[in-house]
Amino acid sequence: MSETRVSLFLVPTPIGNLKDITLRAVEVLKTVDVILAEDTRTSGTLLKHLEITRPLQSYHIFNEHKAVEKLVERMHKGEAFALVSDAGTPAISDPGFLLVREVIAAGLEVQCLPGPTAFVPALVNSGLPNDRFVFEGFLPHKKGRKTRIDALAEETRTILFYESPHRLIKTLEQLAEVFGADRQACVSRELTKLHEENVRGTLTELIEYYETNPLKGEIVLVVAGKPEKRETREERQALKKQKWNSGD
């Protein structure tokens, strides 16, 4: 069986701890023709550390639309590319989605390597149910923000947000208004870094904590879903009776 030729690799890079780069990520970065980077300076430092010398080309949200067509053309001619973002998995709240979509539409092969991303360790560290969850990424800063939060009012799965530290208290307050002040949550800060911290509590407790402990660094906010309503004994019996009467 012949191996499919991959035109585009998405390569996750560390979100703090440089040891989190995988052996396969290094191997792929060493063998592609070109590495596309969100910020060539940031990725240049990492690649230098890993002794990787492949050509670097800038790929960010401001040139994404323009760049895609030309890149797909080059892939058709046989060039292989790797896409990296500043940190974590490309295309996860980072540029990349558009390129992936167009490469697939062009009938070419895409492979995303598994590796660092901030929301998975935050979800697991939170101690909240992780069998079902929703990733909301960044909430809009102004327009549409309230609508997005309101749409989550009935959500029973654990909810994940990327948030900036200076907007966290406002977000916690807005969530408390819609979800109730006693909803459990967790703020994961500086994951994989020296000052990693996971603070767990109700939305009110977290607001109080961050009012007295000003926040610095990168964060993921994990919020419990709405508790699912349990049927009472009477409701269960009534349901049984209903089924029995209908002959089911």
Q: Tokens 């007295």 map to which residue?
A: 212
Told to check if 126 binds ligand SAM by CB under 6 A, we report no
Q: Could you say which of 52, 203, 220, 223 contacts ligand SAM (CB under 6 A)?
A: 220
Told to check if 171 binds ligand SAM by CB under 6 A, we report no
Told to check if 188 binds ligand SAM by CB under 6 A, we report yes
Told to check if 20 binds ligand SAM by CB under 6 A, we report no
Q: Could you say which of 28, 67, 72, 87 contacts ligand SAM (CB under 6 A)?
A: 87
* Dihedral sign for Cα atoms in the order 155, 160, 161, 165: positive
Tell me the β-bridge partners of 82: 9, 35
Instruction: Kindly list the distances between the CA atom of residue 130 and the CA atoms of 68, 122, 218, in Å, as whole numbers in the listed order.
Output: 35, 10, 21
Report the 3 state secondary structure along 161-195.
EEECHHHHHHHHHHHHHHHCCCCEEEEEECCCCCC
Q: Do 46 and 13 touch, CB atoms closer than 8 A?
A: yes
Told to check if 218 binds ligand SAM by CB under 6 A, we report yes
Told to check if 162 binds ligand SAM by CB under 6 A, we report yes
Told to check if 15 binds ligand SAM by CB under 6 A, we report yes
Between residues 127 and 227, which has the closer beta carbon with respect to ligand SAM?
127
Which residues of the chain form contacts with ligand SAM (CB under 6 A)? 15-16, 85, 87-89, 92-94, 117-119, 162-164, 188, 190-193, 218-220
